A and B are shown apart, each in its own frame.
Chain A
Amino acid sequence: MRMSRAVPLRLTLRPRVTVALSDLFSLRRRPETDEGAGSDAPPHPSKALAKFLASLQSRPQPVLLDLGPVVGSNLTFFGEELGCKIFVENVFKDIDRHVLESKLEELPAFFEQRFPQADATFDGILCWDALDYLDKKTGPVVARHLARLLKPEGALLALFNASEPRETDAATYTRFVVVDRANLQYRHYPAAKRRGRALQNRDIQRMFEPLRIVEQFLLKTNVREVLFRKAALPPVSSISGPT
């Protein structure tokens, strides 16, 4: 008796997406690094990142503060580029927690106590776009503390969205994943709070006083990259005065 020809079993997962069972078994789990939602996002050029790195490269074992969500590959990147020590203080989690507990009005007081580190602790600060998610009362509090924490001649990199948020936009935060010195990947993930109104240049400048803006770039992605620098300490002779 002649056997009928074996027909390969096929499994339909989604409309118009057909996967052979053999292919399904060969599918592998994504590597457990920073691959996740948005990992295939295109890289966007960054002008300020290279300048931020350049300003820190001459410093011996700089200390960085990263306010963004933890991105493992970023830690590796900055560690390798600068040989630095990086502190991660994820302020986005703090914002989410306050939103979920309906305690947003307590956010300014919370951030007054949030950074217990001594003045001039960090050579560089990666603020990312945290200020976009803080209201008019909280933003200046955070900016003031960041300015305090920065060492003289230290650099602070902040990103601001230049476009106004739309009602239809989903509430998302962005992981800025460093691809290389000149490119960042924007990976969005769900947030408890929407982005606030776009900040004006003068507001940004005032918030971070006494830091001064040394570089500013408005990218095609509508992201404004701002590099701040803290002034060097005045020479000792000018402090001591006449004797």
Chain B
Amino acid sequence: MWKRDEAVKPAAGTPAPVPPAPVSQAAATPVPAAVETRQTMSRDMVNIGKSVVIKGELAGSEDLTIEGHVEGKIELKDHVLTIGPNGKIKAQVFAKAVIVLGEVTGNVAATEKVDIKDGGSVDGDIISPRVAIAEGAHFRGSVDMQRKAVAPSTQPQAAKPAPAVAAAH
């Protein structure tokens, strides 16, 4: 029984059993890794809480989730904006992708996608190449999908429209 402890203890003159040490340390202390992940997440995503009210211009270079109230303008050129279920926005919105679970009053422009989820509401015009509106979502306004493939057909009298139109459709 006592011998077992002795066996675990490293021998005084042998520095050899070093390799297992890092493994056991990592297993015993998983916290740093998790903390690091959380820090990375928090670095890439920002959350505006329920009680926060912002009036003015909001710009950034990371993904943003809004649960509070924002009035003015929101600009996240290359990032995703999520309007949470409690979020209320009265603003012009520009982002890479916009996901709406709350309420948006104002025009929404996205370079990739606008996604209005069930329970989400948008009163305003949407400009985006892709738009998804779930059943149960509220939408009033216009949708402009600005499809590049359609562009050639918009100049029917130009050089040679026929093949381009056929390809587009």
Contacts and interface: CB of A to CB of B under 8 A. Distances in A.
Interface stretch (A28-36, A129-137, A147-155, A231-239): A28-36
Interface string A138-161: 000000000000000000000000
A81 B141 contact: no
Nearest to B150: A83
A37 B136 CA distance: 11
B142 A86 contact: yes
The winner among B130, B137, B145 for most chain A CB atoms within 10 A is: B145
Contacts of B138: 70
A70 B153 contact: no
A76 B139 CA distance: 14
Interface in A32-57: 32-37, 57
B119 to A, nearest CB: 10
A209 to B, nearest CB: 28
A29 to B, nearest CB: 11
A75 to B, nearest CB: 5
B147 A83 contact: yes
A76 B149 CA distance: 14
B156 A79 contact: no
B62 to A, nearest CB: 25
A80 to B, nearest CB: 6
A33 B118 CA distance: 8
A35 B154 contact: no
B133 interface: yes
A197 interface: no
Interface residues of B, number: 31
Most buried by B among A71, A75, A81: A75
Interface string B118-129: 100000000000
Contacts of A194: none
B145 A60 contact: no
A159 B138 CA distance: 23
Secondary structure at the B interface, as helix, strand, loop or mixed, is: mixed
Interface residues of A, number: 28
Interface in B145-165: 145-147, 149-151, 153-156, 165
Interface stretch (A9-17, A87-95, A105-113): A87-95
B3 interface: no
Contact of B134 (A33, A60, A83, A175): A33
B9 interface: no
A88 B137 contact: no
A73 B141 CA distance: 16
A36 B137 CA distance: 12
B143 interface: yes
A75 B143 contact: yes
A212 interface: no
A8 interface: no
A81 to B, nearest CB: 7
B135 interface: yes
B136 A36 contact: yes
Contacts of B146: 83
Given A34-B133, A75-B131, A87-B142, 12 more contacts: A33-B132, A34-B135, A35-B135, A58-B156, A60-B153, A70-B137, A72-B132, A72-B133, A72-B137, A80-B150, A83-B149, A90-B140
Interface of B: 116-118, 130-147, 149-151, 153-156, 165, 168-169
12 contacts: A36-B136, A60-B156, A61-B150, A61-B154, A70-B138, A72-B131, A76-B131, A76-B132, A82-B150, A84-B145, A85-B144, A88-B142
> What 4 A-B pairs are tightest by C-beta distance, nearest first?
A83-B150, A72-B133, A79-B145, A36-B135
